[in-house]
A and B are shown apart, each in its own frame.
Chain A
Amino acid sequence: MTGSSALSDRELTAIRGDFPILGRRLESGHELVYLDSGATSQRPRVVMDTMRDFSSQHNASVHRGAHSLASEATDAFEEARAQIAGFVGADTAELVFTSGTTGAINLLTASLGAASGGRGQGLGRRFAILPGDRIVVTQAEHHSNLVPWQELAARTGAELVWLRVAESGRLRLDDLPSVINSRTRVLAFTHASNVTGAVTDVVEVVAAARRAGALTVLDAAQSVPHLPVDLPGLGVDFAAFSAHKMLGPNGVGALYGRSELLEALPPGFTGGSMVEIVTMREATFLPPPNRFEAGTQAVAEAIGWAAAVDYLTHLGMDRVAAHEHELTQRLLDGVTELDAVRILGPTDAKARLGTVAVDVEGVHAHDVGQYLDAQGIAVRVGHHCAQPVHRALGVQASTRASLGVYNTAAEVDQFIEALGQVRSYFGVGS
């Protein structure tokens, strides 16, 4: 994106060779064209090998027990944490393992809920949300960065207010002054929409939130996999992201929190492994990040995730972004040429990811997806866990192609060609 050179054909071929699934032939006889990385990305062999090695040689519970395996597992788990934290510019103690982005946001809302209920003593008070306070979200949110805030608002008596999406699919940042008031305690927003692909100007949102003294919570589920992201540099207070969208396994993700905040925040989930002393009446809690990691952790997954981060680091996130940017441009240009196909989101590749949702006039997304699937092209159809943004853009459901580092220009062309045939197959138009 910043003039950094994209991948050469040879490099791309080598990358594709690292992903066994990309060589699959489907039941329909077609070779797989995987354009659903926005839902979940595919995994390189090194991720699978790393996890298998852990399971076959080092498996043990971490931070519990003193035998050799437990100590090997704990070391590997903590190394993984350091690596993943480093990948987003954070300090190791600022990265809390969770089950994913959804897990991270729910952990945070539960923790804010605990603070609102008086937990966390003096230090926790800064997080308390009171009746009449305001929680701000946006219309572009994935349900996982919306519903937990609706629930927290309902529990605390806070008012839920949202920033709207413009017809272009971008957030209406000009409205920030009217949605943020002096009682705004939290502003939760997505870094990149999983529908429109629009990338938010985080610095501008953070500045507006800071003026009101509101905490900022960034949904980085779609951005961290595709762009170089430096969370402390962006200035957000909290952020969430998932391994499975960035070449890693399911079942693990992270909550990032600025250390000063994590230090003061009471834990939303409690139980084993996050306590110091437990009596029948009460418990004292470990410092972060362990304070927020109640229960047995997904150790093999965390280590597999670190292998994915290592893989991406070797490629270089700027080059990953440059490659995907080129493909995004090609995808947008190709779709724009088609009759009666509308892109839900920005039509130019600037400040945008290769996540392109379209509405084919007269053909429902399910039917579009079925037609593409019959040619081996895997896209997502439906509302992609983001009903409000679809409603805001005047559609019920859409067909979404989303790119990954392993996609090729030929695959983009195949998608465009097939998409161009959909209306005539279903007998609409022309």
Chain B
Amino acid sequence: MSSLDTMYQELIMDHARHPHGKNLARAFDGESFQVNPTCGDRIQLRVRLDGVPGELVLAEVTWDGQGCSISQAAASMMKDLVEGRPLEEVAALMDNFNQLMHSRGKGIDEAVADSLEDAISLEGVSRYPMRVKCALLGWMALKDAAAKATAGDSSPAHIPEGI
């Protein structure tokens, strides 16, 4: 496969065309709005938590946004990967995905790769540093929304006027 085909494999294109979780839930415990400054792509993401402090679980992740196929697929795969997991596990997965994105196509530890499920298919993106930001957009929003939810801040995210 050419590196272009690796980057745009069928699984990625399927997620991009039919993204999971791209349907903002009304109720949320934390919300984030993030943009990719190079292209203006954006994501609005909401999370709901379950459980008691110390044992919180990421009960729901929904989002909306505009972006390239990589950003859309990455957000869709992220939802599948993290939903229903304890926050601690989510944080570990986030580290793993970051590691994958910064691997520059040189490969990563097998256990780390296995932990990422479908999202491992985004490995090809790591060869294109300019595109890594696209793949991380949803994850940035998740990190922010989860932090807000954990801190009890359920205020709506600021969305710039006239955007």
**Which residues of A are at the interface with B, using a C-beta cutoff of 8 A?**
28, 364-367, 370-371, 374, 381-383, 387, 390-391, 396-397, 425-427
Contacts and interface: CB of A to CB of B under 8 A. Distances in A.
Given A365-B68, A427-B13, A397 B131 contact: no
A356 to B, nearest CB: 18
Given A382-B40, A387-B40, A374 B66 contact: no
B4 interface: yes
A370 B39 contact: no
Contact of A371 (B4, B66, B131): B4
Contacts of B3: 28, 374
A365 B39 contact: yes
Given A371-B4, A374-B2, A383 B39 contact: yes
Contact of A366 (B2, B4, B13, B68): B68
B69 A426 contact: yes
Given A366-B134, A367-B69, A382 B39 contact: yes
Given A370-B4, A391-B162, A427-B17, 4 more contacts: A367-B8, A367-B69, A370-B131, A425-B8
B70 interface: yes
Contact of A397 (B41, B69, B128, B163): B41
23 contacts: A28-B3, A364-B41, A364-B67, A366-B70, A367-B69, A370-B4, A370-B7, A370-B8, A370-B128, A374-B3, A382-B38, A382-B39, A382-B40, A390-B40, A391-B162, A396-B39, A396-B41, A396-B66, A397-B39, A425-B8, A426-B8, A426-B69, A427-B17
Contacts, number: 51
Contacts of B8: 367, 370, 425-426
Which of A364, A374, A391, A397 has the most chain B CB atoms closer than 10 A to its own CB?
A364
Contacts of B66: 396
A95 to B, nearest CB: 33
Contacts of A365: 39, 68
A381 B39 contact: yes
A383 B131 contact: no
A381 B40 CA distance: 11
Contacts of B69: 364, 367, 426
B40 A364 contact: no
Nearest to A425: B8
B40 A383 contact: yes
A383 B39 CA distance: 5
